[in-house]
């Protein structure tokens, strides 16, 4: 299982939110590159980089942060936040993203995302499935939809999507554990899908459980920044 630290960006700084609420913003480091380099030095290979300003503005805002991390580290970066147009997805790749995560656009304009899957390859696009009680949320979690998770996944799997990042909003940033039952349910229904757990991942024991149930990866954010788990412990599991 891949251990994937998260860096969330607001105003060019490394921050974390609770349940996606921008009013709960806590700045952990003024320099996201410094954080990314500490991950790389600890032996981590992958990074989940989210432009929270971009998610809110519905266009990429912090592309310079992406570019800097991509040019000054060898981390494999999946980038999300503000991917809404052909121009934006190309800008993300040109700035150094190895993959992009499509969330809101996958709900609002699926035909465009289907075109991207064909044009760029399914392995270059991760489906972002952010959920609240198994309903998809969009626009940096500022907006709910009436779209159910499982039909949403089924539609994209039929188009070739191989990997999803599934975040339970109620768990995110709360350090209260992740939605293991939900991930197990997804993998039982879609056994070939690569499921990346996200939201609330807090302890080494929990990460081992996610590994045991078959998760492809686990995204870890606040637990690292608050010292609940160490990079050395995470590297041993990766």
DSSP secondary structure letters along 188-210: HHSTTSEEEEES----HHHHHHH
The residue ranges of every structural domain in the chain are 2-237
Helix, strand counts (H, E) of the chain = 11, 12
Taking the whole predicted model, whether its pTM rises above 0.85 is answered as yes
Per annotation, catalytic residue among 8, 51, 53, 168:
8
Distance from C-alpha of 218 to C-alpha of 194, rounded to nearest angstrom: 11
Section 210-215 average pLDDT: 95
CA–CA–CA angle 21, 56, 32 (5° rounding): 80
- Confidence band for 143, pLDDT divided at 50, 70 and 90: low
Section 23-29 average pLDDT: 89
Q: Is 130 a catalytic residue?
A: yes
pLDDT mean across residues, the chain: 90
The helix/strand/coil state of 134 is coil
Q: Is 31 a catalytic residue?
A: no
Whether residue 115 has pLDDT greater than 90: yes
Section 17-22 average pLDDT: 75
Give the residue, 97 or 24, on which the prediction is more confident.
97
Long-range contacts of 212-215 (CB under 8 A, 24+ apart): 213/180, 213/183, 213/184, 213/187, 214/187, 215/1, 215/183, 215/187
Per annotation, catalytic residue among 51, 53, 78, 130:
130
Q: Which CATH architecture fits 2-237?
A: Alpha-Beta Barrel (3.20)
Half-sphere exposure of 53 (CA within 13 A, CB side): 13
pLDDT for res 91: 95
């Amino acid at each position: 299982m891949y251990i994937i630290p998260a860096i969330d960006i607001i105003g060019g700084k490394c921050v974390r939110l609770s349940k996606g609420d921008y009013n709960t913003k806590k700045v952990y480091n003024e320099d996201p590159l410094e954080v990314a380099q500490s991950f790389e030095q600890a032996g981590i290979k992958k990074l989940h980089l989210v432009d929270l300003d971009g998610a809110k503005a519905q266009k990429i805002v912090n592309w310079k942060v992406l570019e800097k991390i991509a040019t000054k580290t060898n981390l494999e970066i999946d980038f999300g936040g503000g991917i809404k147009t052909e121009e934006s997805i190309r800008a993300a790749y040109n700035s150094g993203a190895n993959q992009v995560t499509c969330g809101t656009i996958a709900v609002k304009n699926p035909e465009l995302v289907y075109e991207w899957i064909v044009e760029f390859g399914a392995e270059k696009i991760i489906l972002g499935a952010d959920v609240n009680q198994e309903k998809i949320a969009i626009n940096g979690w500022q907006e709910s939809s009436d779209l159910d998770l499982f039909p949403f996944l089924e539609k994209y799997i039929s188009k070739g999507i191989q990997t999803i990042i599934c975040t339970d909003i109620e768990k995110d940033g709360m350090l209260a554990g992740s939605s293991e039952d939900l991930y197990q349910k997804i993998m039982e229904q879609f056994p070939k899908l690569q499921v990346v757990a996200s939201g609330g991942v807090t302890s080494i024991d929990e990460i081992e459980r996610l590994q045991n149930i078959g998760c492809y990866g686990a995204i870890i954010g606040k637990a690292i920044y608050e010292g609940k788990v160490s990079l050395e412990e995470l590297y041993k599991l990766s």
